[in-house]
Amino acid sequence: MTQFENKSLTCPCCEQSFETQLVIGYQVGEKDSDFCPRYLDGNPLPHLLHVCPGCGFVGFEADYRNLKDASQIKKIVNLLAGFHWQKGGTLGGAERYRRAALIATYTGKRSAEVADLYLQATWCSRMEGEPDDEQKNARRKAVKYFELALAAEEFSGDDLPVVHYLLGELQRRLGDHAKARKHFDKLDGFKDVDKWLLEWRDKQRALMQ
């Protein structure tokens, strides 16, 4: 069972307080080839991001606590104004992750964190049955920010094989087989790559032949 706990949050942008629920437990089965979890009891991802009913700010519980910089808040307020929020509105899971990713680019989050938010947007988009184009747009942005994170050396050496596998798989899903192969081939340059990861890589690479 997905488990929740009641929580009151105060919005850093419009200062409205509201009641929400924190996810404190859920169950995961297997994972898709792009690491999208197959949740056994519904998708908890949308509930990890909280939408302010007053202004449409979207963030994790920690974002509500940590966002204090006045100039960052001003930029986000301007960004949110462009979405024409209706007071008391709601957002689906994929849209929550897309907006959180956009907001994250204004709050100085690392590219790897922005990439993760776009990746999770693609997962929610699939689970929510959105049109394919929505998934593809978010997937392109996830690739862009994972590449930026690689260039900025945001990942530890231990994480690099997984990152290259994931980039290979995201490029494969976007139909760019040359770039997919380039990332899949990178795994051969690392020592001690987990066996399961090489198996997954071989399986996905074979789909392109």
Q: Is residue 14 involved in binding Zn ion (CB under 5 A)?
A: yes
Supply the minimum distance, in Å, between the C-beta of residue 47 and Zn ion.
18
Q: Is residue 166 involved in binding Zn ion (CB under 5 A)?
A: no
Question: Which of residues 54 and 154 has its CB atom nearest to Zn ion in the complex?
Answer: 54
Q: Is residue 11 involved in binding Zn ion (CB under 5 A)?
A: yes
3-state SS, the chain, equals CCEEEEEEEECCCCCCEEEEEEEEECCEEEECCCCCEEEECECCHHHHCEECCCCCCEECHHHHHHCCCHHHHHHHHHHHHCCCCCCCCCCCHHHHHHHHHHHHCCCCCCHHHHHHHHHHHHHHHHHCCCCHHHHHHHHHHHHHHHHHHHHCCCCCHHHHHHHHHHHHHHHHHHCCHHHHHHHHHHHHHCCCCCHHHHHHHHHHHHCCC
Determine which residue in the list 55, 76, 115, 143 makes contact with Zn ion, applying CB under 5 A. 55
Q: Is residue 85 involved in binding Zn ion (CB under 5 A)?
A: no
Q: Is residue 54 involved in binding Zn ion (CB under 5 A)?
A: yes
Supply the minimum distance, in Å, between the C-beta of residue 10 and Zn ion.
9
Q: Is residue 52 involved in binding Zn ion (CB under 5 A)?
A: yes
Which positions lie near Zn ion, rule CB under 5 A?
Answer: 11, 13-14, 52, 54-55, 57
